[in-house]
Amino acid sequence: MTDEESQILLQFLKVLADESRLRILGLLTNREASVEELAAYLKLRAPTVSHHLHRLQTLQLVAMRAEGNVHFYRFQPESLYRLNRMLTPEKLSRLTDDVQGDEWERKVLRDFLSGEELKEIPASRKKRLVILKWLTDKFEADVRYPETEVNEIIGRHHPDFATLRRELIGNGLMEREHGVYWRI
């Protein structure tokens, strides 16, 4: 969640997830209005409305036009469209997937390993595969392991050995027959 766009999405949602601010936007879609007008309509004090407008403005959901001391605010629909574009399943999935590169695999290992300890199981299928390949190297080729030993070996690196063991099989990195495991 260090991705910039994700943070913007989160900010958008936080700003919009407030009844007063939604109502302000609703009023401003019809016509521009001053802080005082809005306060009267919403039955809030001017500083409160000012605070909300400030937050809306940082995301360009509203814009301001000053006429003397009176500040007229208007709604800016483009920003809503921007939010809509960010609110697709595809964009959401990228929240947790990083960009790929040449050093990508090593970066994954750096990120998820602390020494020989797997800090967490990557959620993205691609990264998980990198970790699983690394884990496979902990087993000798052409050696048959009983399940207890498989658990023990995986368990040296992460407590959730059951999930990892299933993933190793599921991804074709190891095989099982009658409770005996071996590396491919």
Q: How far apart are CA 1 and CA 110, in angstroms?
A: 17
Q: Is residue 121 within the footprint of a second copy (CB under 8 A)?
A: yes
Q: How far apart are CA 122 and CA 4, in angstroms?
A: 20
Q: By CB under 8 A, how many residues form the interface with a second copy?
A: 48
51 versus 107: smaller Cβ distance to DNA:
51
The pair of structure tokens assigned to 56 is 């809306």
The pair of structure tokens assigned to 1 is 């969640």
Q: Is residue 120 within the footprint of a second copy (CB under 8 A)?
A: yes
Q: Footprint of a second copy on residues 14-33 (CB under 8 A)?
A: 14, 16-17, 19, 22-23, 25-27, 29-31, 33
Candidates 69-77, 87-95, 113-121, 173-181 — which segment interacts with DNA by CB under 7 A?
A: 69-77
Q: How far apart are CA 118 and CA 105, in angstroms?
A: 15
Q: Binding partner of residue 69 among DNA, a second copy, none, CB under 5 to 8 Å per kind?
A: DNA
- In whole angstroms, how close is the CB of 123 to DNA at the nearest point? 14
Binding site for a second copy (CB under 8 A): 1, 6, 9-10, 13-14, 16-17, 19, 22-23, 25-27, 29-31, 33, 36-38, 40-41, 43, 75, 77, 80, 83-84, 87-90, 92-97, 99, 120-125, 160, 163
